[in-house]
């Protein structure tokens, strides 16, 4: 049995997201990537933060795979553990069939917020 066999049928049937860059294309304006077209010459400043980052950055994946001793295709980049856990639950657990209690831990803001007094 493979990991794919464990995924929900509707997840296996999905077409993977393809970013505008992965689909190819040439030029400096990426309207199909929902990006603002009129940035100045690229330097990482607040004025040039008009591009979405690559969702699965190849260099990060390759370096982490090497560090972890796994294949690059076994690595998924997420925006943190919470998103990674949520993605796993959504991919492998059937609504109404599987029972999972997913509790997000409090953020620094809610953890330090004043508590109501009695």
The DSSP annotation for 35-84 comes to: --S---S--SSGGG--SPPPSS-HHHHHHHHHHHTS-GGG----SSHHHH
**Residue 28, SS3 per DSSP:** coil
**Residue 31, SS3 per DSSP:** helix
**pTM for the whole thing?**
0.52
The total number of residues shown for the chain amounts to 118
Summarised one tens digit per residue, pLDDT across range 18-71 is 777 677 767 666 666 666 666 555 566 665 566 667 788 899 999 999 999 999
Torsion 61-62-65-66 (CA) sign: negative
């Amino acid at each position: 049995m493979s990991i794919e066999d464990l995924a929900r049928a509707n997840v296996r049937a999905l077409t993977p997201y393809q970013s505008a860059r992965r689909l190819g294309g040439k030029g400096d304006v990426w309207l199909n990537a929902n990006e603002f077209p009129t940035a100045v010459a690229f330097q990482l400043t607040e004025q040039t933060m008009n591009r979405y980052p690559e969702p699965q950055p190849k260099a990060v994946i390759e370096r982490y795979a090497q560090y972890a001793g796994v294949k690059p295709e076994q690595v998924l980049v997420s925006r943190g553990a919470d998103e990674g856990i949520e993605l796993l639950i959504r991919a492998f657990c059937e609504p109404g069939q599987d029972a999972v209690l997913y509790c997000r831990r409090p953020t620094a803001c809610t953890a330090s917020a004043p508590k109501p007094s009695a």
